[in-house]
Chain A
Amino acid sequence: MADLITQPNLPDPDGFYADLIKTYEALDEDAVSGFSARLILLLTNHIGDHDVISQAVEEAVRTNLKAEK
């Protein structure tokens, strides 16, 4: 079983982050969720490993730290 990579894995973190925010900021509120859905579907298909995706889903649920307080 492959493990979800949780160590730094992006060569240019600042560049990636800036691009992501730029793309999102160009969308109006209504378009955000559809865009996110398409992005998730494209990325998950690329990963293609149900186990890794499940780990990512779990991790994303778990790290909603504000809700823990």
Chain B
Amino acid sequence: MIHDRYSLAFKLYPYERNADQDSATPVRHPVVIVGGGPIGVATALDLGLQGIPVVVLDDHEGIGMGSRAICFAKRTLEIADRYGCGKPMLDKGIVWNLGKVFHDDRKVFEFNLLPEEGHKYPAFINLQQPFFEKFIVDRVRKAQAAGAPIQLRGKNRVDQVTVRDDHVVLDISTPEGTYTIEADWLIGCDGASSPLRGMMGLDFEGRVFQDSFLIADIKMLNDSFPTERWFWFEPYFKSGASTLLHRQPDDVWRVDFQIGWDVDRKEEMKEENIRRRLDAMLGPEVSYEMVWSSIYTFQCKRMERFRHGRVLFAGDAAHQVSPFGARGANSGIQDVDNLGWKLGMVLKGQAPERLLDTYDEERTFGADENILNSTRATDFITPKSKISHVFRNAVLDLAERHAFARPLVNSGRLSVPCTYDGMSLNGEDALPGPARTRPGSPCPDAPLGDGFLLSQLGNDFVILTINTDAPDTLQEDGVTARHVAVRSEDDTSGALAERYLGDASRAVYLIRPDQHVAARWDRYDETAIRAAMRTACAKD
């Protein structure tokens, strides 16, 4: 039997018998994904849109109840946009820019994120994770209808794997018994406690934080709170050592209480006890309904390597961070963005297998950056020693009076994508251009005519020329780069010039399928571009 470990918000892939269960010999698939969370399904979407057959196995029949993630960053939305599901997220999500920081009963300061103008997507939206996941699954359904070879198999639990040199054998349980399939490539997206990692005996090293947090999602029945992020250090209402209040769609608010390590979980989870904390904080005149609550503890850990031969790990299975800074799902989606085109090219014979080693190279680097940021935030929010507590409160005291101390206040640094500086796929930087678009950088968006630049990039290699020309396509060793030409006339806001030209009057960029800059020049040089394409495909 397969028991549900959690209840569902949306039952989207009910169990159905599949042909593999009736096959006399195990059927071989090019790609199998373990885990149908946001990362597994997004990976399937990326590959399916490339025409690569992919099977997703999940031990539930849909998306779990309860919003773990609520903050989705611009880069995540841009990647979702490339997959065709960014808009419903933006439409449903809540955009916020104002934050307030409190200490005890005093407001320390408030800030406006002041997002940079000229991007199709905002810096952040707040959206319940189940909706985020549902929009990806909805997109998968549309892609399937248009012929994308994606299968989502609910109530298919992976129980055992046998890893061979050139394939993996999977034993799967279903409500109708067990069956076996084979995969040329297996992707582990089975979450933070990854059974796959366990089956393969792989490490997951890092730091466990001795603290727990009580989350309560509540629906406000009178609208007394603005769309702002409020963070309390040592709040006067004593509902937790720190407390976060954040708005989600549908009048739902996230409240996050830091309640310490030695807590009686069962006792704390009783509705009357949660309400006691909430009432102390909100005051008697606010009425609300409880939507969902949970207690979580967290860790900052990662696998030493994300590639193990024919098995690749992505999302929480590969790395786990504290929630401060919203880097979990956001970084997992960047894994997908990075892995999708690389595995696609290897499967299509356009690039050597070692291109997949650069997935490990780039994304372990990304994971380290995320772990560093979220560990620092956690240490500020929950000081680990007496002296650390003294300094934390000194910063808060000073921040109330002086601007200089405000950048030291760390209640989570919001997720931004990393720049793959110095990594092996980067080509030359032969443009006196802005630092933010140096090789390895994710391309920043910019308005162009009545659209946006990023809409024209991605999915394949692009040669982006600004104020200069190039042939429509360039083929190098089986890989085609598509030419996108833009000119300063289309750049009425000046954002393109500021982000891509700097002091240069023209530029040529080679851009990877994941919208990261591979190399750039001040003129079109075919030989140089061919070399950079080879480098970006791990051929040289």
User: Given the interface contacts A41-B405, A45-B404, A45-B405, does A33 sit within 8 Å of B398 by beta carbon?
Assistant: no
Q: Nearest-CB distance from A40 to chain B (Å)?
A: 8
Question: In the complex, are the beta carbons of A37 and B404 less than 8 A apart?
Answer: no
Once bound together, how far apart are the Cα atoms of A36 and B327, in whole Å? 34
A41 to B390 alpha-carbon distance, docked (Å): 12
| A42 CB-CB contact with B under 8 Å | yes
Whether, in the assembled complex, B387 has its beta carbon less than 8 Å from a beta carbon of chain A, the answer is yes
What separation, in Å, do the CA atoms of A45 and B406 have in the docked complex? 12
Closest to B394 in A: A37
Residues in B neighbouring A22, C-beta threshold 8 A: none
- When chains A and B are docked, how far (Å) is the Cα of A33 from the Cα of B408? 18
Within the assembled complex, what's the spacing in Å between the Cα atoms of A41 and B408? Answer: 10
The CA of A38 and the CA of B408, in the complex, are separated in Å by 13
Complex Cα distance A34/B404, Å?
18
Which residues on the A side are within 8 Å of B405 (C-beta)? 41, 45
Q: A45–B397 Cα gap in the complex (Å)?
A: 15
Q: Decide: A38 near B398, CB < 8 A? Known: A45-B404, A45-B405.
A: yes
Interface bin, chain B: 10 to 19
- Complex Cα gap A21–B349 (Å): 74
B387 lies within 8 A of A33 (CB): yes
What is the bound-complex CA distance between A34 and B394, given in angstroms? Answer: 6
For the complex, give the distance between the alpha carbons of A17 and B434 in Å: 49
Query: Is there contact, CB below 8 Å, between B397 and A38?
Result: yes
B225 contacts the other chain (Cβ, under 8 Å)?
A: no
Chain B binding site: helix, strand, loop or mixed by DSSP? helix
Contacts of A37 in B (CB 8 A): 390-391, 393-394
Within the assembled complex, what's the spacing in Å between the Cα atoms of A2 and B404?
22
Residues of B within 8 A of A42 (CB): 398
Complex formed: what's the CA distance from A34 to B388 in Å?
A: 10
Q: Does B259 contact A (CB under 8 A)?
A: no
Whole-angstrom distance between the Cβ of B253 and the nearest chain A Cβ: 33
Q: What's the Cα separation between A33 and B398 when bound, in Å?
A: 14
Residues of A within 8 A of B387 (CB): 33
Please provide the chain A residues from 3 to 30 with a CB less than 8 Å away from any CB of chain B in the complex. none
Q: Which of B371-426 contact A (CB under 8 A)?
A: 387, 390-391, 393-395, 397-398, 404-405, 408
Distance of A42 Cα from B405 Cα, bound (Å): 8
CB-defined contacts of A45 to chain B, threshold 8 Å: 404-405
Number of A-B residue pairs with CB-CB distance less than 8 Å in the complex they form: 22
Interface centre among B393, B394, B398, B405 (most CB of A within 10 A): B394
The A interface, classified by DSSP as helix, strand, loop or mixed, is: helix
B206 to chain A, nearest CB (A): 26
Distance of A50 Cα from B393 Cα, bound (Å): 22
User: Please, which residue of chain B has its CB at the minimum distance from the CB of A46?
Assistant: B404
**A33, A34, A41, A42, most chain B CB atoms within 10 A:** A41
Closest-CB distance, B499 to chain A (whole angstroms): 28
Nearest-neighbor residue (CB-CB) of B393 within chain A: A34
Give the distance in Å from the alpha carbon of A63 to the alpha carbon of B391 in the complex: 23
In the assembled complex, the Cα of A69 lies from the Cα of B46 at a distance in Å of 64
Smallest CB-CB separation from B391: which chain A residue? A37
Chain A residues lying within 8 Å of B393, measured Cβ to Cβ, are 34, 37
Chain A's nearest CB lies how many Å from the CB of B160? Answer: 52
CB of B72, distance to nearest CB on chain A (Å): 33
Binary flags per residue of A30-58, CB closer than 8 Å to B gives 1, else 0: 00011001100110010000000000000
Q: How far is the CA of A45 from the CA of B390 in the complex (A)?
A: 18
Interface centre among B387, B390, B395 (most CB of A within 10 A): B390
Contacts of A34 in B (CB 8 A): 390, 393-394, 397
Q: How far is the CB of A50 from chain B (nearest CB, A)?
A: 14
Q: In chain B, what residue has the closest Cβ to A33?
A: B390
- Closest Cβ of chain B to A17, distance in Å, is 23
> What residues on B are CB-neighbors of A41 within 8 Å?
391, 394-395, 398, 405, 408
**Bound Cα distance A38, B400 (Å):** 12
Q: Contacts of A33 on B, CB cut-off 8 Å? A: 387, 390
A34 to B392, CA, bound (A): 9
In angstroms, how far is the closest chain A Cβ from the Cβ of B410? 14
Q: How far is the CB of B519 from chain A (nearest CB, A)?
A: 32
Which A residue sits closest to B408, measured CB to CB?
A41
The answer to whether A38 and B404 have CB atoms under 8 Å apart is no
Collect the chain B residues with CB atoms within 8 Å of residue A38's CB. Answer: 394, 397-398
A25 to chain B, nearest CB (A): 19
CB-based nearest A residue for B397 = A38
Distance between Cα atoms of A41 and B402 in the complex (Å)? 11
Tell me the A residues contacting B by CB distance below 8 Å: 33-34, 37-38, 41-42, 45
20 contacts across the A-B interface (CB closer than 8 A): A33-B387, A33-B390, A34-B390, A34-B393, A34-B394, A34-B397, A37-B390, A37-B391, A37-B393, A38-B394, A38-B397, A38-B398, A41-B391, A41-B394, A41-B398, A41-B405, A41-B408, A42-B398, A45-B404, A45-B405
Task: List chain B positions with a Cβ less than 8 A from chain A.
Answer: 387, 390-391, 393-395, 397-398, 404-405, 408
Q: A41-B391, A45-B405 are in contact. List 5 more A-B contacts (CB 8 A).
A: A33-B387, A37-B391, A38-B397, A41-B395, A41-B398
